[in-house]
Amino acid sequence: MSTTDSVFDFLQQSNTAASGYVKFAPGDKKVFRILANPIQGWQLFVDGKPQRAKPENLSDLPTQNEKGEAPKKFVTFIVYEYADNGPGAVKVWDVPQKTIQEQLKMLYKANNEHWTAYELVVTRIGSGMDTKYPVTGIKSPIEETLLAFCSVASQYVDLTKLYTSENPFIKELPPLEAKKEQETKADDLPF
């Protein structure tokens, strides 16, 4: 194989690991579907990098970082992020924000629903200490392509690797296409 061929082969490869995390910029509105059981625990950023511990292992983390911050609870999901144009993507959504955690808990516990029952619409409003993340759940059946991926998600993404600061993407993600619900009926809303 020539050098030119290898360069183009490299450029064609997916950059799933680099872009596989959900990121919000101010004003972003994203639509997700949870695809697998989450992991949870404690998280502390030390020198700009996350350190995580399982719920029962808080003592594995420093009591505070260089900024004086203490560890916070986190939950991390494998999600499908819908796109407005074209196919969406399977991503890792790390949620250390207590407000998002509480809204998700209220949505799922109040309605006694499975985590695949809703498309989640999350918007980032504001910036800095005034940032808010309203979460809305739109009840809709999960698409067949996503349901099929749910049963094999752990073959592609191992969230437990985050506890040891490893890359959770263990192999190339398959292309998935699912379209978000276009119409919302009053009966579909969880409130």
Span 57-71, average pLDDT = 95
Element (H, E) at 3: helix 3-12
Q: Give which of 100, 107, 139, 104 is closest to 123, Cα–Cα.
A: 100
pLDDT digit string, tens, across residues 117-175: 899 999 999 988 899 999 999 999 999 999 999 999 999 999 999 999 999 999 999 88
Token output for 139: 């009840």
Q: What is the mean pLDDT of the chain?
A: 84
Counting residues of the chain whose pLDDT is more than 70, the rounded percentage is 83
- For residues 178 and 80, the answer to whether their CB atoms sit within 8 Å is yes
Q: Give which of 188, 174, 190, 27 is closest to 88, Cα–Cα.
A: 174
Of the pLDDT bands very low, low, confident and very high (cuts 50, 70, 90), residue 188 is very low
With a cut of 90, say whether residue 22 has pLDDT above it.
yes
Distance of CA 2 to the CA centre of its chain: 39
